[in-house]
């Protein structure tokens, strides 16, 4: 059993490292091009492997928080990937039961993290500090916004583009967070966990805002945009 867990841990680390390294490629290459698509797929499936192995490892320990965090981390990548299939929600390409189910799981996992962080103090939670509550509340907000978008799709025909960017870049924050927690031991524990989300969220907002203005200036280009 120990050897199997060791192998799973090795796969988990390898997949996480792969995701961390390849993510900048689709970020910086031409959107819709072959390189962007190919490495974006590699990143997504690496994140899927990270999530599955994290749940297995968390269940073996067991550490409920880590299992819930794995769900939280992968949901952003899943949401960003699925946005490519919801480009025209007002024309029949809306959210499917798969999307609704994933959002429900995300909401449940986020609520679970929040509750655990509040009502189950222990030495382990004290080391993590406010992290479960912060991630939990953040996840609840994200899931709630996704329910709203699924039920009342925005009129903007480029909304799928922004959803894709938000999801994939948000998942990269989770990847950087994992790297920070393991390697940046010179930082206080709470800082190691939270600085990526504090730094990354405004950057994602700025990036999306930039493209919104760019699309308004070039409506013909934006209407034909693909990924």
DSSP assigned state of 79: H
Mean pLDDT of 10-29: 92
Judge whether residue 59 has pLDDT over 60: yes
Q: CA-CA distance, 198 to 157, in Å (whole number)?
A: 29
Place of tokens 């709203």: 148
Residue pair 174/200 in contact by the 8 Å Cβ criterion = no
The average confidence (pLDDT) of the chain is 86
For 156-197, how does the pLDDT look when each residue is reduced to its tens digit (9 = 90+)? Answer: 888 898 999 999 999 999 899 988 988 998 998 888 888 999
pLDDT, tens digit, for every residue of 83-100? 999 988 888 888 999 999
Got the DSSP string for 121-190?
A: --HHHHHHTTHHHHHHHHHHHHHHHHHHHHHS--S-TTHHHHHHHHHHHHHHHHHHHHHHHHH-TTS-HH
pLDDT in tens, 98-151: 999 999 999 999 999 888 888 765 544 445 557 888 889 999 999 999 999 999
Give the mean pLDDT of 200-226: 75
Is residue 42 pLDDT above 80, yes or no?
Answer: yes
d(CA 89, CA 14): 36
**Start-to-end C-alpha separation, the chain:** 42
Closest CA to 202 of 164, 156, 170: 170
203 with 165: CB under 8 angstroms?
Answer: no
Report whether pLDDT(75) > 90. yes
Q: Do 16 and 53 form a contact (C-beta atoms < 8 A)?
A: no
Mean pLDDT of 35-48: 94
DSSP 111-123: HHHHHHHHH---H
Assigned token pair, 1:
């059993």
Confidence of residue 220 (pLDDT cuts 50, 70, 90): very low
SS3 content of the chain, % helix, strand, coil (to 5): 80, 0, 20
Predicted local confidence at residue 73, as pLDDT: 86
pLDDT of residue 226: 52
Count other C-beta atoms under 10 Å from residue 95's C-beta.
Answer: 20
Q: How far apart are CA 200 and CA 165, in angstroms?
A: 13
């Amino acid at each position: 059993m120990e050897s199997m867990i060791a192998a799973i841990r090795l796969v988990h680390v390898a997949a996480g490292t792969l995701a961390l390294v390849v993510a900048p490629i689709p970020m910086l290459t031409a959107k819709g091009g072959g390189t962007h698509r190919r490495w974006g797929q590699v990143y997504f499936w690496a994140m899927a492997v990270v999530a599955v192995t994290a749940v297995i490892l968390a269940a073996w320990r067991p550490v409920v928080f880590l299992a819930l965090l794995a769900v939280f981390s992968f949901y952003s990548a899943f949401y960003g990937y699925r946005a490519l299939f919801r480009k025209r929600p007002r024309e029949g390409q809306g959210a499917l039961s798969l999307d609704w189910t994933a959002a429900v799981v995300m909401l449940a996992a986020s609520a679970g993290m929040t509750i655990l962080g509040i009502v189950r103090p222990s030495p382990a939670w004290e080391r993590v500090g406010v992290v479960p509550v912060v991630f939990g509340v953040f996840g609840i907000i994200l899931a709630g916004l996704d329910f709203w978008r699924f039920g009342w799709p925005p009129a903007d025909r480029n909304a799928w583009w922004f959803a894709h960017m938000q999801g994939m870049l948000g998942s990269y924050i989770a990847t950087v967070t994992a790297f920070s927690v393991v390697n940046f031991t010179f930082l206080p524990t709470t800082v190691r966990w939270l600085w990526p989300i504090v730094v990354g969220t405004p950057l994602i907002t700025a990036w999306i805002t930039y493209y919104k203005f760019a699309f308004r200036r070039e409506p013909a280009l934006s209407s034909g945009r693909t990924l």
